Structure 1
Amino acid sequence: MSGFRRGVRLGIDVGRARVGVARCDPDGMLAVPVETVPRAETSVARIVEIAREYDPLEILVGLPISLGGSETASTTDAREFATELSAAVDAPIRLVDERLSTVSANAVLRQNGRSQKSSRRIVDQIAAVVLLQQAIDVEKSTGNPAGAAL
């Protein structure tokens, strides 16, 4: 596990209606869902509270890039959210490509017999888990943090 920086990380999946939050243990063994935060004026403040509770080494915010690699309105929205969060929290923020996290999350939920409608409340948390786990795996395999510093 050389090159892996020990510490709790938070994963954030920014959506138009909801923000999924996940965390991992200090050794990066397992990413788990924390909460789905409704997207509102208070979203950043709630995530700051969560960050205070877990004292993360860093916060990984998913950057929804199109499958073709181009940026979309959702990418801009996630960048703006990350910038606002960065101004309010002590932990460094990294932007990570989350191209397939929501697709993967929906697939996991379908495999477990849940419809998209019944999963709506947790799909954002699962997407945050997927992007966080992918980022941990990247750092463990390469020795470099995933994504780019904000």
Structure 2
Amino acid sequence: MNYPSKAIADLMKWASRHGCIYRGIAASGHAKIELPNGEVYTTSASPADTNTRKAKHDLARMLGVKLERPAAGRYRHQPTGGRHVPAEVRVDSVSAKYARLEARHRTLCDEIRDAKSSGYPARGALDEIATVEADIVKLGRRPPLRSFRS
């Protein structure tokens, strides 16, 4: 169908999906759009007029259709799930991960050394230190030496 302007063509493409029918140009030069309930809506048909955006909002309101629109303001950014995410968690480089794992490795070595000196087994710490060393290897680094050996 031939529309008087590209703006009206875009409006009618959207409106026809919701049951509206284009009824041509009125004597006043306005485009006539028939709604599914029989009402006739008129809007400017001039390509220079930018009211077709307002017309789309009016039609959506009359049809009871919610328009999809881009998020505005602070809501256009990626959501964080309603919680603050610290910078060290957001930007987690290999060296930062390695530093954390190395610190945990040292702590576990101290726990195992203390357990050995008191005569208690440190099975949980031994399992965890193996996991920490495997994670260090996954980062492409060599695990530190176990300092609890006597």
TM-score category by the smaller chain?
under 0.3
Q: Greater CA radius of gyration, 1 or 2?
A: 2
Higher strand share: 1
Tell me which of the two structures has the higher relative contact order, counting C-alpha pairs closer than 8 angstroms and 6 or more residues apart: 1
TM-score, reference length from structure 2: 0.21
